[in-house]
Amino acid sequence: MIVIMSPQATESDIEQVQQLLADRGYGVHLSRGVERTIIGAIGALDEEKALVAEQLDVLPAVERVVAILKPYKLVSREARAERSAVPVGNVEVGVQKLAVMAGPCSVESEQQLMECAEGVKEGGAAILRGGAFKPRTSPYDFQGLGEEGLRLLVAARERTGLPIVTEVRDVRQVPLVNEHADLLQIGARNMHNSDLLKEVGGCDKPVLLKRGFAATIEEWLKAAEYIAAAGNLNIILCERGIRTFDTTLRYTFDLSAIPVAQAETHLPVIADPSHASGQSEYVAPLAMGAVAAGADGLMIEVHPQPERALSDGPQSLTPTAFAKLMQQLRSVAAAVGRSM
């Protein structure tokens, strides 16, 4: 249930509604828009909603009360009709201009990262991606440089001016990653990790939530709700392919998830064609398809020497190939009313 305050509502009016909801034992989430303040009542039972709505409607500062039927309350379009834009450093994700995040799967060395960071900036990327802590299927594979990787990412941000996004894998890593990164990534393997979702929900940085490779769209949005319910509504959704019976590519890229998620939620939705395909030659067509389907941005893996990459080399583009793709994407973006 959400309470939409009138444009004339004062701080005292807002506090009164919050207190009334808290007295009933509801969790309260405050969202301040340009014109209106919205108060979310978390935990309201269906049988109580009609009575509570009647009582709140009496207050002059309350414009209306809306009962939300979706299982994901705060991130649904019922809670917020207009699309949200999420700030990442000096970049906004979810606006008319597409946000492209690019960089290596893993931070391997200072030379590798700096070469890649400068290459993706020159190619037109808005945000630098790079893994400091890497979740791997095998315990013997390269797991990332950890804190040293974060230090190198910060140095790359200082050199290029690009905000940085990196994955956080464990609740114990959250304070450290939150201190260094501009955008915290929850990877596909951790989409169901509710403790981690709640932990990043308490952070002051935006969160990129990847869809689990065996998750339905509803499960994905419920995972986003964990983050929102903990207090952080600056969430970006990322479709990165799901596991199906077809094994031709690494995963099956669910193009339909982009418009469906945008219809269901006010959050920005981006796509990761690199992980979806697992093969560099298919990244470009999937990226163009995602933009045509309405994605608010892309996440693309780039490595100066993919043949020497310590992780995900087969799906990584060279900086030259990335720049070429960005040129191709501009015409697709223009066709659907977006810019790069």
pLDDT tops 90 at residue 24: no
Q: State residue 299's pLDDT score.
A: 98
Quote the pLDDT of residue 138: 72
Average pLDDT over residues 119-146: 86
Chain centre distance of CA 102: 14
pLDDT at position 44: 73
- pTM, two decimals, is 0.86
| Residue with more model confidence, 268 or 139 | 268
Please give the pLDDT value at position 100.
98
Inter-residue contact 259 to 299 (CB < 8 Å): no
> What pLDDT sits at residue 153?
97
Specify the higher pLDDT residue, 219 or 32: 219
Per-residue pLDDT tens digits for 4-13:
899 889 999 9
Average pLDDT over residues 99-128: 97
Residue type, 260: V
pLDDT at position 140: 65
Maximum mean pLDDT: which of 32-36, 43-47, 159-163? 159-163
CB-based contacts of 270, cutoff 8 Å, min separation 6:
93, 99, 101, 208, 236, 237, 238, 239, 295, 296, 297, 298, 299
Of 51-55, 187-191, 285-289, the poorest mean pLDDT is in 51-55
Could you give phi then psi for residue 123, rounded to 5 degrees?
-75, -15
Predicted local distance difference test score (pLDDT) of residue 25: 87
Q: What is the pLDDT of residue 52?
A: 86
Show the tokens assigned to 133: 């802590």
Band of residue 193 on the pLDDT scale cut at 50, 70, 90: very high
Residue ranges of domains in the chain:
2-66, 86-335
274 exposure class (CB count in 10 Å sphere: 0-12, 13-18, 19+): buried
Question: How far is it, in rounded angstroms, from Cα 71 to Cα 82?
Answer: 19
Task: With a cut of 90, say whether residue 38 has pLDDT above it.
Answer: no
- Cα(first)–Cα(last) distance of the chain, in Å? 37
Confidence band for 136, pLDDT divided at 50, 70 and 90:
low
Q: What is the pLDDT of residue 33?
A: 65
* Fold of the CATH domain 86-335: TIM Barrel (3.20.20)
**Count of CB atoms situated within 10 Å of the CB of 272:** 30
Give the largest Cα separation in the chain, rounded.
Answer: 67
- The residue assigned the tokens 């405050």 is 30
Tokens encoding 252? 């099956």
Alpha-carbon 206 to chain mean position: 8
Q: Classify domain 2-66 by CATH number.
A: 3.30.70.1140
- CATH fold match for the domains 2-66 and 86-335: no
Span 40-69, pLDDT tens digits? 888 777 778 788 888 888 899 999 888 777
Phi first, then psi, for residue 206 (nearest 5°) are -65, 160
At a CB cut-off of 8 Å and minimum separation 6, what does 74 contact? Answer: 29, 31, 40, 42, 225, 228, 229, 233
Token digits for 285?
Answer: 């067509």
The per-residue pLDDT for range 217-263, each reduced to its tens digit, is: 999 999 999 999 888 999 999 999 999 999 999 999 999 999 999 99
Structure tokens at 152: 């190198």
Q: What is the mean pLDDT of residues 156-177?
A: 97
Region 271-283 average pLDDT: 97
Instruction: Give CA–CA dist 239/253, Å, rounded.
Output: 8
